[in-house]
Structure 1
Amino acid sequence: MSDEVYDGAVGIDLGTTYSCVANYDGNNVEIIANEQGSFTTPSFVSFTAEERLIGEAAKNQAAMNPANTVFDVKRLIGRRFDDPTVKKDIESWPFKITDNAGAPMVQVEYLGETKTFSPQEISSMVLLKMKEVAETKLGKKVAKAVVTVPAYFNDNQRQATKDAGAIAGLNVLRIINEPTAAAIAYGLGSGKSDKERNVLIYDLGGGTFDVSLLHIQGGVFTVKATAGDTHLGGQDFDTNLLEHFKKEFTRKTKKDLSGDARALRRLRTACERAKRTLSNGTQATVEIDSLFDGEDFNANITRARFEDINAKAFNGTIQPVEQVLKDANIDKSKVDEIVLVGGSTRIPRIQKLLSDFFNGKKLEKSINPDEAVAYGAAVQAGILSGKATSADTADLLLLDVCPLSLGVAMEGNIFAPVVPRGTTVPTIKKRGTALTGATKFSKLPPESYSQLCLIATRLSEEIKSEKRMLVFKGSASSIFAKFFGLGLLRGPQAHVTASFREVKSTQLHAHQLNLVDEGSTWSS
């Protein structure tokens, strides 16, 4: 590889279980294979006394080195240690998670020492691997990328993902939602059409689940609504199957393997293999020699039993579909196309549930569910880096939505929404809030006393003053007190302006706090 830097950008699908990288050269999108010839790379990182392994090599180490092989880190990124989902995951992971001032940290043995890494650092290692895969193919250094995240990721999770990119040496041009990226892949690929249509993207991956409804007309992709679960996917189906086989092993041998990380890893790998087999056949066999305490394990599982074990999880994927239709105010009969994305959509029961919900409607399986997100990310990367020159992408306009409501904290620890979820971005929203109360100020410095008196007079506030004490009655809000540093600054009405300057941003920018009365304004 030369020292020349690639002038374009790549698209990276940073998945919970597998990741994928693609490049758009202006005319075609290429999904880039890794050194094993696979188009997807396991999101695994393994640490040993001699080296650090990433991808296939790391996953192959999982059974032999379970305590130092890290996976599922996407379920940690941007979360707090005391998050209930984190607590639950920690119970099932063989590697150790520690608490660092409320932030979860991964603890491993590496190069003969105990090391701790943040979820961002572990994710950066996976991103670095995908960066190297792209560099090997392009023969140049890759410096820019578009990275995808689940549509229901919050701002902390999105920012943490962007930080991971920076640690990996990537300038992350934009963070985009996975189902939106998949919609681009479908809209520019096999689903290309100039006609106006409503397209539902059903994205069920290894660890997250998203549903988005888009209105597509020509090159304009407008997201109407989105919903999902950042903690539901193929890994959960594997876990349910794992619990089933653990009980089966105990029933047969009278032994409990719950405390053996190596045995659990081997059994989980067998469960994943059985799950894949059941997507094509009606029965699978699990055979593991000397699984635990010298005991071999052999068991059969039918597709019907697998579906029964995961019935609650499977049925739970329909609720977000209903939510999306409700938020978009569209009847399910008005959905023109249903596109399947994510490896877990290969499960026959999932497909039947979705088809039945839409009254037997045919599901679109024309795009590769494992590669579609990276494909769409690559197109967006090409547009942002100036590589997109074809007619297909020249007029492409992507209008996404804010998946979660954004707002401000009001007095009494009350959340006041400013930008409701489902709002198309970019957008500007304002919210007016009037609060009442009475506040006493004492021992005020002369300059603050004078300024408060002046403001109170201008706002026609009812005040009582003596020496260095003021008592305000009427409208009030302590939020502005801390903001102006005057103890408490009172005003009858507060206006908060939230501004989205770029489509990629989902962070609330409350950049102006005004006190308004009959045309008089004091602002920050």
Structure 2
Amino acid sequence: MSVVGVDLGTLNTVIAVARNRGVDVITNEVSNRATPTLVGFGPKSRYIGETAKNQEVSNLKNTVSSFTRLAGRSLNDPDVQVEKDFVSAALVDINGQVGAEVSYLGKKEKFTATQITAAFLTKVKQTASAELKLPVSDVVLSVPVWYTDAQRRAILDASEIAGLKCLRLINDTTATALGYGITKTDLPPPEEKPRRIVFVDIGHSNYTASVVEFKKGELAVKSSAWDRHFGGRYIDKAMVDHFAKEFKEKFKIDVNENSKARFRVQVAVEKLKKVLSANTFAPINIESVMNDIDVRGQMKREELEELIKSMLDRVTIPIEQALADAKLKKEDIDGIEMVGGSTRVPAIKTAIQNYFGKTLSFTLNQDEAVARGCAFSCAILSPVFRVRDFSVHDQVNYPIEFTWEKSDDIPDEDTSLTVFNKGNVMPSTKILTFYRKHPFDLEAKYAKPEMLPGKTNPWIGRFSVKGVKEDSKGDFMICKLKARLNVHGVLNVESGYYVEETEVEEPVPEPPKEEKKDGEAMDVDSKETKEEPPKMRKVKKQQRKGDLPLSAGTASLDQASKDAAAERENQMIMEDKLVADTENQKNELESFIYELKDKIISVYSEFASDDEKSKLSAKLETIEDWLYDEGDDATKGQYIGKMEEIRSIAGPIIQRYNDKIEEERQAVLKKQQEAAAAKQAEIERKKREEEAKKQAEAEQQAKDTEMSDADAVKPDEVEEPSA
């Protein structure tokens, strides 16, 4: 069973897996640790990840980026209008959802942002499966902390369409905090003051600051604040606009008139920005940017900081807001952990460090911390891994209220209630009680729409409660509804049931007996004390009597739509696979032709007659000409057929060569065996000679011993000297 965590970023996606008693970030098909978050559409197949990046400049209008920021949004959302500056494909409305119109398989097609996200997740699934050599199903996906219910549902729908089971949608900074805390062995015990860390995550497109408290075995997110339009891409845009103006003045070209030219400048300034993070000056040179004109320029770090001054002025605002929401001062913070690619910008680091007046910490991998935290979260939720006990308490970021129609039988009834307040612990469950005689509906929505990103519709869902009726006495039915904000941050009314109030008798609790004071005499009763029966009282208690059917309408796709999208995705996967297999077969045919052309005049030459050589050479020339003419866009079956045509002539030649090689191999093997046998025989002979020699020496030693014994003079044989 796989345990996979995915940092689903705007620019790049990082995949981490739990294994080998730890967490590893895995590489993609070109050995990169981060995969471009791109989906492109072509005349034959889709391009996803690295392949989409490779053909992006030549296929701009059909390449979709930033789709994670589009999922769950509508086209008229102001945030979506902002995305038009960063998405080269045409954005369109598809049944109230934003999507992209692209040219796919030679015709115009529209795909929702949810479908495009699902397409990318299938690539994530394939990459993880190839690395683990196991089927991948369970994942934890990261999302920005400011995502609404609709956006979270869109990501969950996308993962289901891709055939993945999302165990948890986890906020980016919460994942980072988990990766930080679960490996720490020096966290304070529960009874002591917690360790307070501010996590600052500034990525490609957004900036989040979260205040997190750590104790041994747990973390609690106390507050989060964000700037949705702060990050690397806004720095890139400011630089592109600057150089576009400069090139227009110096080289008389306007890169804004040509999308490919502007994209080339964007690629160049992204590299320039990285150089300026470590140096105070850097040049820029772009060959043939437009109209065969080469351009060059330069920029100082001070110039860049002046270009993005309006953004730098906002750099501490999310941190200030997070501290205010947590009711803490900057002096209360024990550490500041920086993650995200844009935290490498010196001006940003300096501004945050000056605000806190203490050294910033970069102990976590800035690009991989979120993915590692996701993998830890997946391991905690997976039954096949043993992980150190660690509780994660996230929080509600937008207050949620329920509204309902007033009952005619309860004229003074309130019709709304804020059930989940900002700052409440998440996940969380609340029981709502209604007194009704008829079926009724209630709606969930965000209580403060002005807090939501863009102009997001505050509506979350409508829930209909069925089976409600008067009781036998004509009184109200007491309806209980279980509302839950789950681990994904998604709201649902999970169940409904009704209860009845019944009177039951229970003993009245006795008041606590007064203790005797010191020196007070004991009362002694000489008569037997009779035990009085306990006093009883009647109380009303609610007993569950039955379930109430529920129907829900939310921003999630209905099952039929998800099934249709999943079927369409599987069709596109098969089309992609067929194109890849066809390309592999074409390459194999081309390689086979060149290999035979070389070998027929070298290693195969002595195994073919002149007639066979001429026939094979002619066939190779014919098929090579076909391959670079009408065969350039042939089917997989045609390539296989051409391969068989060549093999029908080359097969006997190759077989003779292989037979000769096998014969030589057998001869060599036979010689090796004979040499080995001779060597073994020589070893045995030497062994026998050695044993014979040892035996002869032993026999000689025995003889020598006998002779010495015989020559020895016995004491009683010595003659006495004569007188």
Mapped to 2, the partners of 1:286 and 1:69 lie a distance apart of 26
Q: Is the 8 A contact 1:287 1:298 kept in 2?
A: yes
Cα–Cα, structure 1 residues 415 and 45, in superposed 2: closer, same or farther, change >3 Å?
Answer: farther
Unaligned 5+ runs, structure 2: 189-193, 407-414, 439-461, 469-474, 499-539, 549-723
Verify: 1:348 aligned to 2:349, yes or no: no
2:246 aligned partner: 248
Task: Indicate the residue corresponding to 1:375 in structure 2.
Answer: 372
Distance 1:307 1:141, change over 3 A: same
1:17 aligns with 2:14: no
- Report the counterpart of residue 48 of structure 1 in structure 2: 42
Classify the secondary structure of the residue corresponding to 1:127.
helix
CA 355–432 in structure 1, closer or farther in 2 if over 3 Å, else same:
farther
* CA–CA distance in structure 2, aligned partners of residues 347 and 496 of structure 1: 53
SS in 1 for 2:27: coil
TM-fit CA distance, 1:369 = 0.8
Matched residues in 2 for 1:209 and 1:498: separation?
35
> Are the structure 2 counterparts of residues 402 and 256 from structure 1 closer, same or farther at C-alpha, using a change threshold of 3 Å?
same
* More strand as a share of residues: 1
C-alpha displacement of 1:231: 3.6
SS in 1 for 2:145: coil
Q: 1:357 aligned to 2:341?
A: no
| d(CA) in 1 for partners of 2:417, 2:317 | 26
CA 1:498/1:291 → structure 2, altered by over 3 Å: closer, same or farther?
farther
**Partner residue, 1:263:** 261
In our comparison, the structure showing a higher alpha carbon Rg is 2
Cα deviation 1:373-400 (Å, max 9, x = unaligned): 11010011111112431xxx33111110
- The whole-number CA distance in structure 1 between the counterparts of 2:333 and 2:479 is 39
Shift of 1:26: 6.7
Q: Is the partner of 1:172 in helix, strand or coil?
A: strand
Q: Structure 1 residue 194 and structure 2 residue 187: aligned?
A: yes
Alignment CA distance shift 1:35-1:192 (3 Å): farther
CA contact (8 A) 2:169 2:487 kept: no
Structure 2 partner of 1:126? 120
Q: Which amino acid aligns with 1:232?
A: F
Question: Of 126, 149, 160, which aligns to 1:155?
Answer: 149
| Alignment match, 2:160 | 166
Match of 1:227 in 2: 225
Distance across 2 between alignment mates of 1:18 and 1:160: 19
Distance (Å, rounded) in 2 between the aligned partners of 1:387 and 1:203: 31
**Is 396-405 or 51-60 further displaced after alignment?**
51-60
- The separation in 1 between residues aligned to 2:102 and 2:203, in whole angstroms, is 27
Q: Provide closer, same or farther for how the CA distance between residues 415 and 228 of structure 1 changes in structure 2, counting only shifts above 3 A.
A: farther
Per-residue deviation at 1:430? 7.6
8 Å CA contact 2:94, 2:112 repeated in 1: no
TM value normalised by structure 1? 0.81
Q: Provide the C-alpha distance between the structure 2 equivalents of 1:349 and 1:343, rounded to a whole number of angstroms.
A: 13
Q: 1:52 to 1:485 in 2, by over 3 A?
A: same
Q: Which amino acid aligns with 2:426?
A: V
Change (3 A) 1:261 1:501: closer
C-alpha separation in 1, matches of 2:405 and 2:253: 56
| Residue pair 1:12, 1:377 contacting (<8 A) in 2 also | yes
Q: Which shows bigger deviation, 245-254 or 98-107?
A: 245-254
Structure 2 CA distance for aligned equivalents of residues 501 and 54 of structure 1: 34
Q: Would the alpha carbon gap of residues 202 and 504 (structure 1) be closer, same or farther in structure 2, given more than 3 Å must change? A: same
**TM score, norm. by length of structure 2:** 0.59
Q: Which moved more, 1:81-90 or 1:288-297?
A: 288-297
Q: How far is the alpha carbon of 1:512 from its aligned partner?
A: 6.8
Please give the alpha-carbon distance, in whole angstroms, between the structure 1 residues aligned to 2:168 and 2:16.
Answer: 15
Report Cα offsets for 1:163-196 as digits up to 9, x if no partner.
111122111111111111111111234x552233
Question: Alpha carbons of 1:122 and 1:484: their partners in 2 closer, same or farther (altered >3 Å)?
Answer: closer
User: For the structure 1 residues 338 and 143, does the alpha-carbon distance in structure 2 shift closer, same or farther, using more than 3 Å as the test?
Assistant: same
Select the residue among 491, 500, 507 that pairs with 1:507.
491
Taking the aligned partners of 1:273 and 1:63, their CA distance within structure 2 comes to 16
Q: 1:234 to 1:411 in 2, by over 3 A?
A: farther
The verdict on how the C-alpha distance between 1:143 and 1:426 changes in structure 2, with shifts beyond 3 A counting, is closer
> What does 1:76-475 align with in structure 2 at a 5 Å threshold?
76-189=70-183, 192-195=185-188, 196-359=194-357, 361-389=358-386, 393-409=387-403, 417-428=418-429
**Counterpart-to-counterpart distance in 1, 2:152 and 2:350:** 33
Deviations 1:195-249 (A, max 9, x none): 3300111111112221111111112011111121334321122112111122222
Amino acid at match of 1:150: P
Partner of 1:456: none
* Per-residue deviation, 1:483: 7.2
Judge conservation of contact 2:37–2:66 (CA < 8 Å) in 1. Answer: yes
Whole-Å separation in 2 of the counterparts to 1:66 and 1:129: 20
Contact 1:379–1:388, Cα closer than 8 Å, also in 2: no
Deviates more, 1:332-341 or 1:247-256: 247-256
The corresponding residue for 1:467 is none
Q: CA deviation at 1:133?
A: 1.7
Determine if contact 2:432/2:483 at 8 Å carries over to the other structure: no
- Give the 3 Å change call, closer, same or farther, for CA 417–501 of structure 1 in structure 2: closer
Partners of 2:142 and 2:341 in 1: CA distance: 16
Question: How many residues are aligned here?
Answer: 464
**Helix, strand or coil for the counterpart of 2:124?**
helix
Compute the displacement of 1:300 (Å).
0.8
Q: For residues 398 and 205 of structure 2, what CA distance do their matches in structure 1 show?
A: 19
Shift of 1:509: 3.4
Give the SS at the match of 2:68: helix
- 1:352, CA displacement in angstroms? 0.9
Question: What SS does the corresponding residue of 1:394 show, helix, strand or coil?
Answer: coil
Residues of 1 paired with 2:369 and 2:185: CA distance? 14
Higher RCO (CA 8 Å, separation ≥ 6 residues):
1
1:193 aligned partner, one-letter code: D
1:487-513, Cα deviation, whole Å (9 max, x unpaired): xxxx9xx99977336433431539679
The 10-residue stretch of structure 1 (288-297 or 133-142) with the greater mean CA deviation from structure 2 = 288-297
Amino acid at match of 1:299: G
Match of 2:634 in 1: none
- Stretches of structure 1 that go unaligned for 5 or more consecutive residues are 1-6, 434-447, 453-479
**1:151 to partner: Cα distance:** 0.9
Deviations 1:300-354 (Å, cap 9, x if unpaired)? Answer: 1111111121122233232111111111111111111111111111111111111
Mapped partners of 1:137, 1:277: distance in 2:
33
Q: Any idea what SS the aligned residue of 1:400 has?
A: strand
Report what 1:64 is aligned to. 58
Cα gap change, 1:309 to 1:166, in 2 (>3 Å): same
Q: Which residue of 1 aligns with 2:692?
A: none
Deviations 1:1-30 (A, max 9, x none): xxxxxx132001110000011111272111
